[in-house]
Amino acid sequence: MNYSRPPSALTIAGSDSGGGAGIQADLKTFAAHRVHGLSAIAALTAQNTRGVSAVHVPDVGFLRAQIDACFEDFDVGAVKLGMLANGAVIAAVADALEKYRPRHVVLDPVMVATSGARLLEPDALDALRHRLLPLASVITPNLPEAELLLGRPIASRAAMRDALDGLRGLGARAVLLKGGHLHAGDEVFDLFADAGGVREIAHPRLPIEVHGTGCTLASAVAANLCLGLDLADACAAAGDYVHAGLKLAYRPGLGGVFVIDHFAAATPDRMSASGSGQG
């Protein structure tokens, strides 16, 4: 038996009844990295591979009780933030983070589901900008989310680079800007930026529509931070992990959306040098 108290990763996000994204994807990712996973459910979705049919946001007092229970008993090495549906939820989460001051906060600013369903209420965007981004170790927006945060289009790799300073200027220490929505060429380029500079992370583009990639990437970053990697290496390793899971993706439902194979992706060499370089 192992009586040590290793760091745990906490996800504060929405659940996915279809099992491919949200809390479910986060916990699978933590387990695949052999990191103990904790969860505080900020929203419930009725969801499958064909779309989101309903969203229920629990009482914020109960959400705060879940977060308190986790911090009172576990060594929370990193917190991953996902779907936070409205301003009241964001305020409750920000209050908790300001109280407990976890070592790492990975913010995936979830706004729109793969299906196109809006997952963030209009009043929440300002709260996200002003309360959560300054608490984040790293934010992991895709291009549509980055465009909403900055209020301008990002339509090229040059525009992605230009957006990095603006995103970091919102308060986060680092940014992992995901370029999957930029359909240019046979590779997907993500950009990591912190005070030390910019790092380009590239992987071959795969011709499938996959559900839960953003959740999985952010939770893999959180898990890698718990394992002791620095921010840049944690993001690069997370990108490699997601790419491996995409190559092994499967289609469990009647919809055309695939889901990542979180456990098959966790091969012994998944932490080897990534296909990334300095930009």
Domain count, the chain: 1
Q: Pinpoint the alpha helices (H) of the chain.
A: 22-32, 60-73, 87-100, 124-127, 143-150, 157-168, 213-226, 231-247
Query: Would residue 224 count as lying in a domain?
Result: yes
The pLDDT, as a whole number, for residue 277 is: 38
Supply the CATH number for residue 170's domain.
3.40.1190.20
Q: Is 22 exposed, middle or buried (0-12, 13-18, 19+ CB in 10 A)?
A: buried
Domain range for 235 is: 8-278
- What's the pLDDT score for residue 112? 63
Please check whether residue 257 lies inside any domain of the structure: yes
Q: How many CA atoms lie within 13 A of 215 on its CB side?
A: 32
Q: Is residue 1 part of a domain?
A: no
Is residue 19, in this structure, part of any structural domain at all? yes
Residue 114: the pLDDT is 54
> Which of 212, 242, 193 is CA-nearest to residue 83?
212
pLDDT at position 274: 36
- Classify residue 71: in a domain, yes or no: yes
Q: What is the pLDDT along the chain (279 residues), one digit of tens a residue?
A: 777 788 899 999 999 999 999 999 999 999 999 999 999 999 999 999 998 899 899 999 999 999 999 999 999 999 999 999 899 999 999 999 999 999 999 999 987 655 555 667 777 888 999 999 999 999 999 998 999 899 999 999 899 999 999 999 999 999 999 998 887 678 889 999 999 999 999 999 988 888 899 999 999 999 999 999 999 999 999 999 999 999 999 999 999 899 999 999 986 554 443 333 334
